[in-house]
Amino acid sequence: MRYQQRQRERLGILGSGHIGPVVARLALSAGYPVDIAASGDPDDIALITELVIPGARPRWASDAAADADIVILAMPLHRFLDLDPGPLGGKLVIDAMNYWPASDGVLTVFEQGGSSEIVAQRLAGSSVVKALNHIGYHELEEQARPAGAPDRKAAAVAGDDRAAVDATARLIDRIGYDPARVGSLAAGRILQPGGPVFGITLGLPEFGQAVHEGARSLP
Amino acid sequence: MTDATTYTFGLDTFGDRNADASGTPLSHAQTIRNVVEEGVFAEQTGADFFGIGEHHTEEFPMPAGDVALAAIAARTSRIHLGSAVTVLSSDDPVRVFQRYSTLNAISGGRAEVILGRGSSIDSFPLFGYDLADYEQLFDEKATLFAELLKGGPVTWEGKTRAGLLNQDVVPHTESGPFPAWIGVGGNPESVIRAARLGFGLALAIIGGRPARFAPYSELFLRALEKFGRAPLPVLMHAPGHVAATDEQAKAEFWPRYRDIITLMAPQRGFAPPTTSRFDWETGPEGALFVGSPGTVARKIAANLRTLGATRFDLKYGMPGLTHEQLMTNIELYGREVIPRAREMLAAS
B260 pLDDT higher than 90: yes
Does the distance separating the beta carbons of B188 and A17 come in below 8 Å?
A: yes
Does the distance separating the beta carbons of A18 and B218 come in below 8 Å?
A: no
Cβ pair A153, A145 in contact under 8 A: yes
Q: What is the mean pLDDT of chain B?
A: 95
Query: How close does chain B come to A1, measured CA to CA in Å?
Result: 32
Which of B186, B209, B212 shows the shortest C-beta gap to A18? B186
Q: Given pLDDT bands bounded at 50, 70 and 90, which one contains residue B1?
A: very low
Query: How close does chain A come to B169, measured CA to CA in Å?
Result: 32
pLDDT for the residue B186: 85
pLDDT for the residue A8: 82
pLDDT for the residue A218: 57
Query: What is the three-class DSSP state of A128?
Result: strand
pLDDT for the residue B120: 64
| Digit-coded pLDDT (tens) for B312-322 | 999 999 999 99
Cβ pair A97, A73 in contact under 8 A: yes
B148 pLDDT higher than 50: yes
Cβ neighbours of B184 in A, within 8 Å? none
Does the distance separating the beta carbons of B188 and A21 come in below 8 Å?
A: yes
Tell whether B207 lies on the interface with A, counting CB pairs under 8 A.
yes
Separation of alpha carbons B103 and B300, rounded Å = 29
Tell whether A17 lies on the interface with B, counting CB pairs under 8 A.
yes
Does the distance separating the beta carbons of A47 and B121 come in below 8 Å?
A: no
Using DSSP, how many helices (H) and how many strands (E) does chain A show? 9, 8
Residue B183: Cβ-neighbour burial (10 angstroms; 0-12, 13-18, 19+): buried
Residue B152: Cβ-neighbour burial (10 angstroms; 0-12, 13-18, 19+): exposed
Q: Given pLDDT bands bounded at 50, 70 and 90, which one contains residue B4?
A: low
Interface A:B, Cβ pairs < 8 A: 76
Separation of alpha carbons B276 and B281, rounded Å = 9
Of the two residues B121 and B102, the one the predictor is more confident about is: B102
Q: How many CB atoms lie within 10 A of CB A151?
A: 8
Give mean pLDDT, residues B214-240: 96
Out of A150-159, B229-238, B249-258, B268-277, pick the least confident: B268-277
Handedness of CA A176, A177, A181, A185 (dihedral sign): negative
Q: Mutating which of B90, B131, B134, B209 best tests the A interface, going by the most A Cβ atoms within 10 A?
A: B131
Query: What is the three-class DSSP state of A97?
Result: coil
pLDDT for the residue B2: 46
pLDDT for the residue A217: 66
pLDDT for the residue B119: 63
Tell whether B266 lies on the interface with A, counting CB pairs under 8 A.
yes
Nearest CA in chain B to A134: B269
| Digit-coded pLDDT (tens) for B54-94 | 999 999 999 999 999 999 999 999 999 999 999 999 999 99
pLDDT for the residue A101: 83
Of the two residues B269 and B223, the one the predictor is more confident about is: B223
Query: How close does chain A come to B174, measured CA to CA in Å?
Result: 36
Cβ pair B242, B296 in contact under 8 A: yes
Tell whether A107 lies on the interface with B, counting CB pairs under 8 A.
yes
Instruction: Name A127's bridge partners.
Output: A92
**Dihedral angle of Cα A184, A187, A191, A193, to the nearest 10 degrees:** 130
pLDDT truncated to tens, each residue of chain A (219 aa)? Answer: 677 777 789 999 999 999 999 999 999 999 999 999 999 899 989 999 998 999 999 999 999 999 999 999 999 998 899 999 999 999 999 999 999 887 778 899 999 889 999 999 999 999 999 999 999 888 899 999 999 999 999 999 999 999 999 999 999 999 999 999 999 999 999 999 888 999 889 999 999 999 998 877 655
Q: How many CB atoms lie within 10 A of CB B325?
A: 24
Which of A105, A138, A198 shows the shortest C-beta gap to B208? A138
Cβ neighbours of B268 in A, within 8 Å? 103
